[in-house]
Structure 1
Amino acid sequence: MTTADYIALAFFACVWMGYSWLLKGRTFFGRTSLTHAMTERRREWIYNSLRRDLKMIDTQIMAGLQNGTAFFASTSIFAIGSCFALLGATEKVDAVFADLPFVFHGGHAAFEMKVGGLAALFGYAFFKFGWSYRLFNYCTILFGSIPMLRDAESDVIAAERAAERVIRMNVIAGSNFNEGLRAIFLSIGYLGWFINPYVFMMTTAIVIFVLTRRQFFSQARLAIMDAGPPSNLHLSPVRRDIPSSGGSDLPEGL
């Protein structure tokens, strides 16, 4: 480990924490982040479910969120196993790196420490995905407590309270999923450390640049923002959209 290695590792940690802090601020140069915009769409989706009795579409969406989280959790486990396999082949990898140009050869101990750090990254991602999967499971259970259309009409406050519980749980689960995915992305930048610390800093900066662009300047964000923000969904949407006659028909226009 050289001074450049310590500087590169500190740079990696700082930009990771800085990017996470930037997303918590929700805006960057006056632009709303893609993550925050999707949070509003989650709210819109859950409130829309109050307007229909048949909720098979919603349960399918929940299942899709869980399946995606389970896939990345499994992938993280395989990646951790690959890191341990790499530790068992230290001498072979060392011999390969010794013949490559521009690769800083720090010896067995440095290589094993770098592989251990990579395994720690994947371990962090696994715990985030695992927790997200469990929260999505809780979210499904909470979603089952949302009243049907007739009951929501008769007790609007209780229906909105049930919807808010689902929204909060869904947002927390999505946040943990995003943090796990961020660790997977940053592990790509971490691989630059196996070449030399300067490449490590460069690849980390490139990954952060790409992630920032996707959050604040991408076409995906533009597509969501063009749809327009939900209009006062927190102001008793059930009262506005559920007919007061008490029938089980859907409101007009839906």
Structure 2
Amino acid sequence: MAAATPNGIPASRPLASSVPIEAVLFDIDGTLCDSDPLHHVAFQEMLLEIGYNNGVPIDEEFFINNIAGRSDVEAAQNLFPDWPLEKGLKFLEDKEAKYRSLAKERLEPVKGLAKVVQWVKDHGYKRAAVTNAPRINSELMISLLGLTDFFQAVIVGGECEKPKPAPFPYLKALKELQVSADHTFIFEVNHFFFICICCKLVIWFYLQLKNVCFCCRILLQAHVQALLLEFLLLLWQQGTQRSPYWMQEPR
């Protein structure tokens, strides 16, 4: 049985020697912190102020189907199809200010984050945050989570040729960290793969081994997270080590 490191995560016997992992990339929203509820509240309050939906607050289903995970342009078009795009984007800009106000009071790290952060530090991996959130939001969240000195780079999708899920933010992170995609692991929220992990684990294993994607949400309850982290990294080790499809150079 592997010895435990001081932070409680089992020491990875073969990983350091067999798989030359050099870097770890983290999404922020939903991965480092559960920020969606705060975004939902911010939208609810601001939409009520303009009488949206006849004054009925938007529910979680509406938020997930029309707003969460969308680019600003897509969210603006979903919310206000009859508005000029610039007006819709200005509303979203104001909403982000509302979100930041809420985040300063309520933002919390996901359970198990401290252990994962320490695990990455213990192994000396390079690390970057790769997010579609505006930079002002990203830097605020990272600061509130106490991770300003942890990340060596913060890559914002809006500052790249195209945001995630296009490969450009990931490629920029690899360039800034000076690492190869073959030696990089991603902590990322992707709704499809999150569903696979929670409900259809066998499907996700198949996709993983087929190198469709190295996408996972593994910052879970602290007592589960350590074992799952080790298992997923071992699974990654045993694969064919091709790069995730979104980190391959665009053709």
What is the TM-score normalised by the length of structure 1? 0.23
Q: Which has the larger radius of gyration?
A: 1
Which structure shows the bigger proportion of residues in strand conformation?
2
Which structure shows the bigger proportion of residues in helix conformation?
1
What is the TM-score normalised by the length of structure 2? 0.23
